[in-house]
Structure 1
Amino acid sequence: MKIYAIRHTSVNVKPGICYGQTDVDVAETFHEEQKRLLQDIEQVSFDAVWSSPLLRCRKLAENLFPNEEIQFDTRLKELNFGDWEMLPWDDIYAQPEGKTWMDNYQTLPTKNGESYPEMVARVSACVNEIKKLNAGNIAVVAHAGVIRILKSVIENLPISQLFENFKPAYASVTVFELDKHD
């Protein structure tokens, strides 16, 4: 079984802003990015399509797979950054609690938000459900954080390795082979 993890396209948010689970829209480059993604996956036949329900993923999933039934799953949402949603990262880091979180992001929750262990648990539960489909190719339209966790869970890698070495670009496809790592 292969999971084709498709990161949403660029968003209509200024660079340097934390947007996590805020339901932001896509950037003006959406159609160009979507066309490139279509070319990347046009030779693949998908048995199922899953997506985060947030607009930036929903819009992409519906445009990439207009004739498919899409399973929108809240477990595929980005990390909930709580009080830090829509704040500049520099402002978050300037706060003592922001710096503490960034130094300990693998274990601590964000301010009135979610922790990575909580996110790992929900994404893992979703992966386990997808595995039960026993299908060939699954498309998952999601966020960079979710794709990093997919890599961590599927390839049994510590999350700490993924933030420096693995940065899924907007409108990119990362392929994971589940059978190789089970």
Structure 2
Amino acid sequence: MRIYLIRHGKTPGNQLNRYIGITDEPVLEEDQEQLKKQNYPKAERLFVSPLLRCRQTAACIYPGQEQQVIQNLRECDFGRFENKNWKEMTGDAEYQAWVDSNATLPFPGGEDPQEFRDRACQGFLEGLKLCAEDGTESAAFVVHGGIIMAVLERFADRKKAFYEWHVGNGEGYEAETDPAAWSDASGQQPVLRVVNPIQMTKQQ
């Protein structure tokens, strides 16, 4: 089975390098136009985060295709850091403590990073199990950068740290997997074999 993990298009907050988690921003109009011009792989099933930026991106890439929303695929809640960038938080003791912890401390007023990763992987499993049940041969997940990093950190066939799986807006990875391994009864450790990056090309 082919899996396509695709990050949403660029939002106003992304443009300013802000922490955009639960903030429900739209994709920039010019980025929506770029997305429509790209040649993304076709997919039988389409899973999305409930947040607007992912649903808009999916509509640009897979126009008219049914979107299956999975709540657990929403981005991390960054708490006090939400909708701010590092420049705005220079001198903030809580932010500095979080940076010094190598991003392992819970976000003040937000999610614990490990709990977020567990939730992200659970959401991904929800989609993959649906595919395994009905013999789906290809599925696209139009989600957030944090979701992609969490999923590949845990399930990819080559081990890399969370932040090493970072992808740009509108980009992601193509992977292969054995759908039988994703059923509750399999008893196997599911693995994603990462095949190719999915990249955007600038169109005039």
Change (3 A) 1:178 1:103: farther
Counterpart check, 1:75 vs 2:72: yes
CA-CA distance at 1:8 after TM superposition: 0.8
Unaligned segments of structure 2, at least 5 residues: 179-189, 193-204
Q: Identity over the aligned pairs, expressed in percent?
A: 28
Deviations 1:12-63 (A, max 9, x none): 23423222220112113223321243x132xx3x221111111111111123
From 93, 103, 124, the equivalent of 2:121 is 124
Of structures 1 and 2, the one with the larger relative CO (CA 8 A, separation 6+) is 1
From 72, 90, 94, the equivalent of 2:91 is 94
SS of corresponding position for 1:5: strand
Compute the RMSD of aligned alpha carbons. 2.2
Counterpart check, 1:23 vs 2:20: no
In our comparison, the structure showing a higher alpha carbon Rg is 2
Change (3 A) 1:32 1:108: same
Confirm or deny: 8 A CA contact 2:2 2:176 kept in the other structure. yes
Change (3 A) 1:166 1:65: same
CA distance in structure 2 between the partners assigned to 1:99 and 1:157 by the alignment: 31
AA in 1 matched with 2:172: V
Q: TM-score, normalised by structure 1?
A: 0.85
Partner of 2:106: 109
Partner of 2:187: none
Confirm or deny: 8 A CA contact 2:71 2:123 kept in the other structure. no
Partner of 2:174: 175
CA-CA distance at 1:126 after TM superposition: 1.5
Structure with more of its chain in helix, by fraction: 1
SS of corresponding position for 1:10: coil
CA distance in structure 2 between the partners assigned to 1:176 and 1:102 by the alignment: 31
Confirm or deny: 8 A CA contact 1:16 1:90 kept in the other structure. no
Q: TM-score, normalised by structure 2?
A: 0.76
Change (3 A) 1:86 1:181: same
CA distance in structure 1 between the partners assigned to 2:147 and 2:2 by the alignment: 16
AA in 2 matched with 1:115: D
AA in 1 matched with 2:170: A
Deviations 1:146-167 (A, max 9, x none): 11111112216777x231x332
AA in 2 matched with 1:140: F
Confirm or deny: 8 A CA contact 1:51 1:140 kept in the other structure. yes
CA-CA distance at 1:90 after TM superposition: 2.2
